[in-house]
Chain A
Amino acid sequence: MHDFQFVTPGTLNEALKLLAKHGASAQLLAGGTDLIVKMRVRHARPDLVLDAKHIPELNVLKLDGTGLTIGAAVSCRSIYLDERIAARYPALVDCTALIGGIQIQGRATVGGNLCNAAPSADTIPALIALGAMAHLRGPKGKRQLPVEKFCLGPGKTALRKGEMLIHVRIPKPAKNSGAFFLRFIPRNEMDIAVVNAAAAVVLDARKTKFISARIAIGAAAPTPLYVEDAGAVLADEPVSENMIAEAARIASDAVRPITDMRGTIEQRRDLAAVLTARALRGAIDRAKRGNR
């Protein structure tokens, strides 16, 4: 690995100052499961590595009356081990509990997954479906943007010079809502998604009609894709296999996949439809059972 300076900022201000000063030559280290591997193969060569794990604001994991805050340095494992969070946001458990093995989950963070901006990132579709907002801080102050606007391309994010992700904020699930995430891989564990998908639905009080839905697909475009139209078509429509098929068709048309070692364009397009339908069925099932 190349030589670099390592600093452990104890406050957000200290980290922001260092980021402002060193710009692109500084890199924040959360779980390290992407960054350290990238540095080893020289895909990343920061001169300064800032450990994010001692900055209090980045370690917040807090459920409150209006939603959930996940600090950028919070591990996947601490999210799915929190029973209150698991009960309220099972789609977060779906994704955080299948990234890598137990070793990776103990270190890898949702914030890091987002900032790594891989098209196949497993937590991002669920964040998008759940309507999460990315909260950023930089030299010009605070700003927030919807998670679907955070990734700009493979490895590219909307973060500006000197800016960092502080946390993602997920709103409180609506009444009669449910969300679900799944991915397709050719084995049982430890693989990168060929395609992944998340859906979140809000049903009416009788749970026979959609009020709204949000659908996101991963590994099928340069970024995890929010397929707004696939969710919008369901609004005010009955909960039916026909409508699920219609949303799946829209999602499949919206993706822009590539052919690579994990799958072909055709397979990914097909998977986008299949996984959208399955994610919707899973989300509907949770909404009906009161298990969000």
Chain B
Amino acid sequence: MSTKKRVAATVNGDAAEFLCEPRQSLLEVLREVLSLTGTKEGCNDGNCGACSVIVDGTLVNSCCMLGVEIDGCEVETVEGLARNGKLHPLQKTYLEETGMQCGFCTPGFLMSSKALLDAHPDPSERQIRHWLSGNLCRCTGYDKIVRAVQKAARMLEAER
């Protein structure tokens, strides 16, 4: 077995230092080393987006990245969305608009939605659908998810 590497990163605002094998994906590291099991494994080959997280401001599939690659990076996962027990506007609107049924794809959708609203606070429907094209939902259908993102954008706008 190759030597474990020491990795130091910031995860959801907190410093995280851990050891991992080069062959462990970022997804595996998040779930199995850091016990952040909110991020889900769907296809494990970059198609479904269930494992979406944000690394240094860029939306990525954590299954297509190695854990050792986040050394020195800032990682945001679904666990970082709620603050002080208060849901993020996106989490609220996904609930209100029923943007989920089984919920497996939801952490990935939330992170893609967050990355979208970080980059485009007032997105068009087309932009929303384009940004979420890398996330698959097999139960809800996408209309409710799109409505949830539109509503969250309005809430965030009102907060500013």
Q: Closest residue to B24 on the A side, CB-wise?
A: A1
> Is the CB of A3 closer than 8 A to any CB of chain B?
yes
Q: Are B2 and A3 interface neighbours, CB within 8 A?
A: yes
Given contacts A6-B66, A37-B64, A106-B58, A100 and B134 within 8 Å (CB-CB): yes
Tell yes or no: A201 within 8 A of B by CB: no
- Choice from B2, B21, B64, B130 contacting A36 with Cβ under 8 Å: B64
Residues of A within 8 A of B60 (CB): 103, 106-107
Query: In A1-55, which residues have CB < 8 Å from any B CB?
Result: 1-6, 8, 29, 31-33, 36-37, 39-41, 49, 51, 53
Q: Chain A interface residue count: which class? A: 20 to 34
A36, B1: Cβ atoms under 8 Å? no
Answer whether residue B135 sits at the interface, using C-beta atoms and an 8 A cutoff: yes
CB of B22, distance to nearest CB on chain A (Å): 3
Residues on A with beta carbons closer than 8 Å to the beta carbon of B99: none
Asked if A37 meets B21 with Cβ closer than 8 Å, knowing A3-B2, A32-B66, the reply is no
With both chains docked as a complex, state the minimum distance between the C-beta of B157 and any C-beta of chain A, in angstroms. 22
* Minimum CB–CB distance for B33 against chain A, Å: 15
In the complex, what residues of B have CB within 8 A of residue A49's CB?
Answer: 22, 66
Q: Tell me how many residues of B have a C-beta within 8 Å of chain A.
A: 33
Q: Which A residue's beta carbon lies closest to that of B67?
A: A6
Whether B49 and A36, one on each chain, are in contact in the complex, defined by CB atoms closer than 8 angstroms, is no
**CB-based contact A103/B59 at 8 Å:** yes
Q: Contact check, A103 vs B52: say whether CB atoms are below 8 A apart.
A: yes
Residues B24-64 near A (CB distance < 8 A): 24-25, 44-47, 49, 52, 58-61, 63-64
Within 8 A of B (CB), among A58-104: 75, 77, 100-104
Q: Are B2 and A102 interface neighbours, CB within 8 A?
A: no
A260 at the interface (CB under 8 A from B): no
Chain B residues numbered 68-126 whose CB sits less than 8 Å from any CB in chain A: 68-69, 71, 112, 115-116
Closest chain B residue, CB of each to CB of A2: B23
Asked whether, in the complex, the Cβ of B2 is within 8 Å of the Cβ of A103, the reply is no
Question: A33 touching B115 by the CB < 8 A rule?
Answer: no
Partner of B134, one of A4, A37, A103: A103
In the complex where A36-B66, A40-B45, A101-B49 touch, is A3 in contact with B23 (Cβ < 8 A)? Answer: yes
Q: Does A36 contact B22, Cβ atoms closer than 8 Å?
A: no
A190 CA to B63 CA, complexed, in Å: 17
**Complex CA distance for A1 and B46, rounded to whole angstroms:** 15
Check if B25 sits within 8 Å of A103, measured CB to CB. Answer: no
Task: Give A40 Cβ to nearest chain B Cβ, in Å.
Answer: 7
A-side contacts of B140, CB under 8 Å: none
Chain A residues with CB below 8 A from B18, complex form: none
List residues of chain A with CB within 8 A of the CB of B68. Answer: 6
Which residue in B2, B65, B71, B130 is a CB contact (below 8 Å) of A107? B65
B6 at interface by CB-CB < 8 Å:
no
Q: Which residues of B contact A107 (CB under 8 A)?
A: 58, 60-61, 64-65
A5: nearest residue on chain B (CB-CB)? B2
Tell me the A residues contacting B by CB distance below 8 Å.
1-6, 8, 29, 31-33, 36-37, 39-41, 49, 51, 53, 75, 77, 100-104, 106-107, 188-190
